[in-house]
Amino acid sequence: MRIASAPPSSAEPVAPPLAQCYTGSTRVEQAPMSAPTLPVRSVTDGGLETDLIFHHGVELPDFAAFVLLDDDDGRRTLREYYLGYVEIARAHHAALRLETPTWRASADWGTRLGYDADALRRVNADAVRLLQQIAAESDLPTVRIVGMIGPRGDGYRSGAWDPETGPDDAYRYHRDQIRALPWGEVDIQREFGCAESIHNFVETQLSRERKAVVFYDHRAGEIADFVLLTESPAGVNVALHHCKGSSGAEPGDRIDDLYDLCGQVIKSVKVVNDGPGLLKHMRRRAKSGSPYLVGDEARAVCMLSDGGAKPLRFQIVAVQPGISKKAISGDRLVVLGAADEAIVRAGAEPLAVWASA
């Protein structure tokens, strides 16, 4: 069983847009990146690291500001920096755009600074939450939060990516940071029905999977909320994603957040290693309204039918950001362990859990 504080690398999704729009002091709206917009006068922060070094006297190891998130003094310094731009925006009745202090919060730089993968996921999510707090307290009409991702190497030198594989190599390097940032925008109590919902987050993650099939089956009689089909050299990967909203506003260690979710996980073992059975279910459900978000039935048939040349690999994914990876213990792990044992005995891969840090 694997509990991840961001979607695991096997799914290889591209994260949703990181821009968030705060309207008033409470409502959060995810702004579609391609939506037409009217010109808006905005204030944006800029030169964070340079400002901290020369105007605040802060020493930043490897030019990394994200390390300030790990102590109270550092967080106060970051708040002081961002609040200066809040005041400018307020004085000029303008919208505000704030970028997370995560320019260096990626794998290679993190390793140099003593941060492993879990620690990097935590600080990226913490960076978003800090700006959410500032936005909510600002009472400005519009505050847009942007997840900042810096280069793998020196920002003033061209990269060394291979001309042919460079885009894919860069994607694989940066994807963990991309995934960690968006958790901050999810309303963990809203399973579906709004832009900030868990379903919207998962849909956006999966819908940009390359050469995949994504089938949305959320309603009575579902086999999973999302069915993801992908191909690899070893075969066809089938990932069944089950999602549940949190019973609390903050991630924690609540057993009620796991019972229904693990029950759904166990029910879906009936299609494990049964490609034709899963295909039959998807065909029937598509006729009554369940949509293909990516790909179509023809591609699903090619991947799942008896005539398929590649073996099937099944994985079941439990999505519950109301569970904290750091806090979970005791009976909660027993519940997850029982679900994990049931699906492994049925022939699936160990249970994957998408949780909060």
Q: Are 45 and 209 in contact (CB under 8 A)?
A: no
The pLDDT score that the predictor gives to residue 11 is 36
The pLDDT score that the predictor gives to residue 7 is 57
The pLDDT score that the predictor gives to residue 26 is 23
Give the relative orientation of helices 166-180 and 117-138 as an angle to the nearest 10 degrees: 60
Which tokens in the block code for residue 80? Answer: 């002081």
The pLDDT score that the predictor gives to residue 142 is 80
How do the domains of the chain map onto residue ranges? Answer: 2-185, 198-356
Q: Are 88 and 147 in contact (CB under 8 A)?
A: no
- Residue linked to tokens 């990626």: 106
The pLDDT score that the predictor gives to residue 184 is 63
The pLDDT score that the predictor gives to residue 55 is 93
Can you say whether residue 39 is alpha, beta or left, with left for phi > 0 and alpha for psi between -120 and 50 degrees?
A: beta
Do 2-185 and 198-356 come out as alike in CATH topology?
no
In order, the DSSP letters of 119-178 are HHHHHHHHHHHHHHHHHHHH--SEEEEE-----SS-TTS-----TTTHHHHHHHHHHHHH
Q: What is the pLDDT along the chain (357 residues), one digit of tens a residue?
A: 656 655 543 333 333 333 333 323 222 223 333 333 345 688 999 899 999 999 999 999 999 999 999 999 999 999 999 999 999 999 999 989 999 999 999 999 999 999 998 899 889 888 988 998 898 888 887 888 888 988 888 777 656 666 777 777 777 787 777 766 666 668 888 999 887 899 988 987 787 666 789 999 999 999 999 999 998 777 899 999 999 999 988 888 888 888 889 999 999 999 998 999 999 999 999 999 999 999 999 999 999 886 556 789 999 999 998 888 778 887 888 899 999 999 999 999 999 888 886
CATH class for domain 2-185?
Answer: alpha beta
Q: What residues contact residue 205 under an 8 Å CB cut-off, 6+ apart?
A: 7, 11, 13, 14, 15, 16, 179
Q: Are 159 and 106 in contact (CB under 8 A)?
A: no
The pLDDT score that the predictor gives to residue 4 is 60
Closest CA to 179 of 352, 356, 10, 13: 13
Residue 257: burial class (beta carbons within 10 Å; 0-12, 13-18, 19+): buried
The pLDDT score that the predictor gives to residue 38 is 43
Q: What residues contact residue 195 under an 8 Å CB cut-off, 6+ apart?
A: 28, 29, 30
Closest CA to 351 of 286, 323, 299: 323
The pLDDT score that the predictor gives to residue 329 is 82
Beta strands 226-232 and 142-146: pairing type? Answer: unpaired
Report the alpha-carbon distance of residue 268 to residue 265 in Å, rounded: 6
Which tokens in the block code for residue 297? Answer: 């039935």
Global pTM reads 0.60
Report the alpha-carbon distance of residue 255 to residue 339 in Å, rounded: 14
The pLDDT score that the predictor gives to residue 186 is 80
Our CA angle for 32, 38, 43, nearest 5°, is 85
Q: Are 233 and 307 in contact (CB under 8 A)?
A: no
Beta strands in the chain (DSSP E): 2-4, 20-23, 27-30, 42-44, 95-99, 142-146, 213-216, 226-232, 235-243, 292-294, 312-324, 352-356
CATH architecture of 198-356: 3-Layer(aba) Sandwich (3.40)
Give the relative orientation of helices 275-287 and 297-304 as an angle to the nearest 10 degrees: 170
**What is the distance, to the nearest Å, from the Cα of residue 308 to the centroid of all Cα atoms in its chain?**
32
